[in-house]
Amino acid sequence: MTENAPHTTSPKSHISYPISPIQLALALTTGIPLLLSFLVPINRLVLLGCPFLNITGLPGPFCGFTRSIWAISAGDWVYATVNCPLAWLLYAALVSVFAWNAGCMLLGIKTTRPYILSLTRVQANWAIGIAIALVVLNWIYRLCLGLT
């Protein structure tokens, strides 16, 4: 009797998703700001007051990024460059990360780990040091011009 019994198998415990959660998260966190910068005018964007500016009277190290990202999307490249030159690097990073992850998702390519997370400790320390130096230089530039 056992030879005619239906053969049952246990379901696989490995579930495969068509889209990597990391790729989806990176595509959304970079794509949404890019989309908003094209669709929403800067004067309609609700920006919270800067606590650093309110306390010290000086612009903070990240002041100007939002306005410059919106200016780049609107085609006002001179204003973006004068207001916050480092915003160009941020904009390029947003576009690159979005394009890479959206492209991988559309083509069905799964990546296991973003490249930036694959750096050695020495490389990561250098990257963090360079990023901090760029932000500080951008902040000094804005302070010297008296921008808020």
Domain total for the chain? 1
The type of residue at 98 is F
Question: Is the pTM above the cut of 0.85?
Answer: no
Q: What is residue 53's predicted lDDT score, i.e. its pLDDT?
A: 85
Q: What is residue 20's predicted lDDT score, i.e. its pLDDT?
A: 78
Q: What is residue 83's predicted lDDT score, i.e. its pLDDT?
A: 93
Please check whether residue 9 lies inside any domain of the structure.
Answer: no
Q: What is residue 117's predicted lDDT score, i.e. its pLDDT?
A: 66
Q: What is residue 22's predicted lDDT score, i.e. its pLDDT?
A: 81
Q: What is residue 78's predicted lDDT score, i.e. its pLDDT?
A: 96
Please check whether residue 1 lies inside any domain of the structure.
Answer: no
Please check whether residue 10 lies inside any domain of the structure.
Answer: no
Q: What is the mean pLDDT of each run of 10 residues along the chain (148 residues)?
A: 54 59 88 91 78 88 91 93 95 93 86 70 93 96 88
Please check whether residue 3 lies inside any domain of the structure.
Answer: no
Please check whether residue 111 lies inside any domain of the structure.
Answer: yes
Please check whether residue 99 lies inside any domain of the structure.
Answer: yes
Q: What is residue 32's predicted lDDT score, i.e. its pLDDT?
A: 92
Per the structure, the complete domain to which residue 67 belongs is given by 21-145
Please check whether residue 13 lies inside any domain of the structure.
Answer: no
Task: Give CA torsion, residues 39, 42, 44, 49, to 10 deg.
Answer: 140
CA dist 32 to 38, 39, 94, 98, 119, Å?
Answer: 10, 10, 10, 9, 27
Please check whether residue 36 lies inside any domain of the structure.
Answer: yes
